[in-house]
Amino acid sequence: MLRWALIFAVIALVAGLFGFTGIAAGAADIARILFFIFVVLVVVFLLLGAGIFGGR
């Protein structure tokens, strides 16, 4: 998921460089959403691994 966020971030940078602001804004929004989903999943799995939600 982090790979896709980085791919969309690069697409946004390239599109912004060439003046395609609509495409750049869309790609940046997608990259931002994917990044935050990735961060939430990492935190959840860290908590599960630490046993906070593990139920032992």
pLDDT of 25: 93
pLDDT of 2: 85
pLDDT in tens, 24-35: 999 999 999 999
The whole-angstrom separation of Cα 5 and Cα 11 is 10
Structural domain spans, the chain: 2-50
pLDDT of 47: 86
Confidence of residue 1 (pLDDT cuts 50, 70, 90): confident
pLDDT in tens, 2-55: 898 889 899 999 999 999 999 999 999 999 999 999 999 999 888 888 777 655
**Does residue 11 contact residue 27 with C-beta atoms inside 8 Å?**
yes
